[in-house]
Each structure stands twice: as C-alpha cells, then as structure tokens.
Amino acid sequence: SAVISQKPSRDICQRGTSLTIQCQVDSQVTMMFWYRQQPGQSLTLIATANQGSEATYESGFVIDKFPISRPNLTFSTLTVSNMSPEDSSIYLCSATGHYEQYFGPGTRLTVT
C-alpha cells in the first residue's frame, strides 16, 4: 500500500487569502485525487490530478478556486484560493496505482 503524507496538517487562515496543501506519496502512482470532507459528512471529490496535464474538476469545483499541480508521479498540490468561511473543511488527497486507493491524513482548514 502507498504511504501518503500531507502538509500542513491544519491551518487557520483569514478570509481572502490562499493556502496551498502539499501531498507526497512514497511511490510512483498513476492517479492522485483531492477530496473535501465536511465534519460528519462523506467525501466529495474536488478533482483528479493528472500528471503532465490539467486537472479534471468535478461539478461545483473550478480551477480558479482550486488550482492543482501534479509535477511528477509522487507529488501534488491543491491551492484553496480567496478563501471564505465556507471553505472550512478537511481536505484529503488520495492516490492509486490500479484499484486500491489510499488516503493522506488530511488538512484541517479553518477560515476566519
């Protein structure tokens, strides 16, 4: 199984600012994903991070708000831009090489 780390683990940010979350995998993986999880809720996919091409966003999420980078097969970043309190959530990255998908520990974001 892949070991996935995320930085930062948590942050408190002011509205209008941006935060970049980093996701590192200990092995090369085909696909990386970014999810959002509100407290007590299920996981909602934000986008699929494709290596060498632009990310694919799900309905309700746009590149200007959540720009994603995937410079290589082990690393990805998600930026939450121009934050508002509604962006307060846990952001998780995941990775898969084939079927099994593993998750990072998450970044708990609070926007004040």
- How far apart are alpha carbons 59 and 6 in whole angstroms? 24
Selected range binding another protein among 15-23, 36-44, 66-74, 77-85, rule: CB under 8 A: 36-44
- How far apart are alpha carbons 77 and 85 in whole angstroms? 21
- How far apart are alpha carbons 2 and 46 in whole angstroms? 21
Residue from 22, 24, 43, 73 binding another protein (CB under 8 A): 43
- How far apart are alpha carbons 4 and 1 in whole angstroms? 10
**78 touching another protein, by CB under 8 A:** no
Instruction: State whether residue 41 is helix, strand or coil.
Output: coil
**104 touching another protein, by CB under 8 A:** yes
Residue from 57, 61, 75, 102 binding another protein (CB under 8 A): 102
**45 touching another protein, by CB under 8 A:** yes
Q: Does residue 21 contact residue 77 with C-beta atoms inside 8 Å?
A: yes
Q: How far is the CB of 30 from another protein (least distance, A)?
A: 5
Residue from 17, 28, 30, 84 binding another protein (CB under 8 A): 30
- How far apart are alpha carbons 54 and 43 in whole angstroms? 22
**57 touching another protein, by CB under 8 A:** no
Residues that bind another protein (CB under 8 A): 1, 30-31, 33, 41-43, 45, 48, 92, 94, 96-106
